Amino acid sequence: MLKEYVFGDEDVIKFCEITRDNNLIHNPQYMKENGKKTVVPGMLILSTAIGMAADLISSGANMLELYFHSIIGTGEKSEIGYILQQQDPIRAEIIARNTVNTLSKKGNPSLLMQMDSLPLFTREGILRTLDVRPGQMQQFAAMTGLANDALGYLLFAITYASRGLLLSIDEPQTDIEREINHYLDKTINPDQLSPFYQYLKIYLPPQATKPSPDKDLDYFIHFTRVKEGRTYDAKVFCYQNANLIYYSEYQLIAIPDRLIMRMASVA
């Protein structure tokens, strides 16, 4: 199932207000001043695609393996959704395509799968509690076509983890977090770097609970170094009222801001 979408600046503004994302590449005025189109948040694209596959998740799909290749700008036509490759066990490719599939990297497609068993992780990391404002989850769910749907609340919790990761970098408590903060500090690093997801793996354990709206979310975040100043892994465990919602693995790379702006489409 694929649908054509064209995201506008107003969609990006609303999404970033809901998710409290203040990245300048999502700021229409800033991008216009630099002759570029506003970059559509990757999690808006991803949540839209996964929302279309709600029936697969309710049927047992429990793992997402996501790769990020490029970006989509406002006003650009894109095909978003999934292609079912296998019914039993479930396997579907998640797609967001303008001129290329932005959710495929080096031949690795993004997938939604049903796995018999999931990796077992021991919860670790620094607790970051993120407040959830009244109506915030509901607004997110409605915007992604999942009004009053538990999947919309789950996708909000997944999206909100990005805020937790940035908080860990902005207010570091561990040596690795302080190291990442140093390299991303634009006041001291002449390279002007920003974090960019290489891949994201999300696991939905059978014992996981569904998030409730209007209640704070707890994220346990643990960073490890892959290559200093360049690549870092992070494990994220999301809880609400001490109940597990999901756990995930990220790989983030530091990309020069000038490269990100070069990737953005000309206005």
What CATH number is associated with residue 72?
3.10.129.10
**Closest CA relative to residue 82, chosen from 107, 106, 64:** 64
For residue 224, the surrounding DSSP H or E stretch is strand 217-227
Residues 234, 123: Cα–Cα separation, whole Å = 12
**Closest CA relative to residue 151, chosen from 16, 266, 262, 54:** 54
Full domain range(s) for residue 156? 2-263
Whole-number pLDDT of residue 60: 95
Residues of the chain with pLDDT under 50: none
Domains identified in the chain, total number: 1
CA separation (Å) from 253 to 52, 243, 264?
29, 30, 18
CA separation (Å) from 247 to 49, 187, 192, 216?
20, 33, 31, 17
Whole-number pLDDT of residue 105: 87
CB-CB contact of 223 with 232 (8 Å): yes
| pTM score | 0.95
